[in-house]
Structure 1
Amino acid sequence: MVTVRVVIADDHARMRGRVRDALESGGCDVCGEGATAADAVRLVQEHEPDVALLDIHMPGNGIQAARDIVRANPEVAVVMLTQSAEDEDLFDSLRAGASGYLLKDTDPTQLADRLRGVLAGEGAMSARLVARVMDEFRAPTRRRFGRPTAAAAKLSAREWEVMQLLSEGLTTDEVARRLFLSATTVRVHVSSVLKKLRVTDREGAFRLLRGE
């Protein structure tokens, strides 16, 4: 059985203890524990684990920790372990680069195997959330651009993400919060898109990106 090295970050000490016990019983090596997002990032740098297991609503924001870890340590798999079944937390975590999203009512005897599955290339997600992800990809076309277009190929991944969220009806400030950017940075991305597509407003950009 492969030993998985894990860093745990959760601001509830009792929960950390239960998770540690479950992982160690399953043959994992818990090489670091912390209570904040900053702790998580630091511990990953220090211990270079296989998996970072993060709570979302801990001081400093677990989703931001996930983003920072994925950016600085792409070889470390990030899995969220949380009480939150909210769509916003789920999709923000996946956008941040998390490889899994498990609820804290997950059977603890399965936790170690779920992390091994992630390292083997499987997604780890609580069963009742899978349908929500499927629904997101089945969403009507008004919520997402259609087939890839020549216009889309001109954009960076971040520019595409900004325009996608704006096309869904989010405001500049809402996009900024969703992507952990400043509103000014969002506006800079939009200006860049308009320049690349040679259009004068967002609606013109949306039409090109939808292939209309």
Structure 2
Amino acid sequence: MRSVVRRGLESGGCRVVGEAATADEAVELVIDHRPDVALLDIHMPGNGIRAAEAISRAVPTTAIVMLTQSREDDDLFDSLRAGAAGYLLKDAAPQSLADTLRGVLAGEAAMPPALVARILDEFRGPARRRFGRGSAAASKLSTREWEVMDLLRRGESTDDVAARLFLSPTTVRVHVSSVLRKLAVTDRASAFRLLEE
């Protein structure tokens, strides 16, 4: 993967000053070379998010962009909190990377539109709740639990909800189980009734 990325960057006119196999190596390379951009994989050995935090502290002038397969919300938001200026998925065309990174240096956010929408949904979360908000049941749910239950109530399947919120179907089911436990009910229909009061 690193060689494919390197070829894409170099063919787009970028100069690659180093490659690292681990988070610690990436931090050392950035400190030594002080590049304009550090491109990190979240799940690189040693944890790419941890590397992003260390690079942000040690070389704040280096823009950090995550390149990953993960569409999980936790990875996305943890990366942004760690100082990442972009979050790119590995299915992006390697030849477009150079232009994307130049955009980051010009102050643009590097992120697929679907993930931008995810951030907006998270930011607007409580204001978009559609269940009744005055009940005791309503106050027990997290923003993410509200989103999951609202989509399910509108007739979307577990797989649809997972795709829409960039979660795994298992994570959706975990959220539903948490809601049922919090509301002390045994099925989704009962939860919907409580939340609509």
Q: Deviations over 1:54-87 (max 9, x none)?
A: 0000111000100110111110000000010111
Matches within 5 A, 1:36-75: 36-75=22-61
Q: Secondary structure at the match of 1:33?
A: coil
TM-score normalised per structure 2: 0.64
Tell which structure's C-alpha radius of gyration is larger.
2
Unaligned runs of 5+ residues in structure 1 are: 1-14, 144-167, 170-212
Is 1:125–2:125 an aligned residue pair?
A: no
Partner in structure 2 of residue 202 of structure 1? none
CA offset at residue 141 of structure 1? 5.8
CA offset at residue 142 of structure 1? 11
Q: Secondary structure at the match of 1:124?
A: coil
- Quick one: distance in 2 between partners of 1:17 and 1:110? 15
- Quick one: distance in 1 between partners of 2:36 and 2:127? 38
- Quick one: distance in 2 between partners of 1:125 and 1:142? 23
Q: Deviations over 1:87-130 (max 9, x none)?
A: 11000000111000000001112110000000000000022211
- Quick one: distance in 2 between partners of 1:96 and 1:84? 16
1:92 is matched by which residue type in structure 2?
D
1:125 is matched by which residue type in structure 2?
M
2:95 to 106, 109, 112: 109
CA offset at residue 137 of structure 1? 1.0
Q: Secondary structure at the match of 1:29?
A: coil
Unaligned runs of 5+ residues in structure 2 are: 130-141, 144-197
- Structure number with higher relative contact order (C-alpha < 8 Å, ≥ 6 residues apart): 2
Is 1:94–2:55 an aligned residue pair?
A: no
Q: Secondary structure at the match of 2:95?
A: helix
1:95 is matched by which residue type in structure 2?
R
Partner in structure 1 of residue 7 of structure 2? 21
- Quick one: distance in 2 between partners of 1:81 and 1:40? 14
Q: CA RMSD in A?
A: 1.9
2:108 is matched by which residue type in structure 1?
E
Partner in structure 2 of residue 136 of structure 1? 122
Q: Secondary structure at the match of 1:30?
A: coil
Greater strand share, 1 or 2? 1
Question: Runs of 4+ in structure 1 displaced over 6 angstroms?
Answer: none
Q: Secondary structure at the match of 2:67?
A: strand
TM-score normalised per structure 1: 0.60
Percent identity, please: 70
Partner in structure 1 of residue 19 of structure 2? 33
Partner in structure 1 of residue 138 of structure 2? none
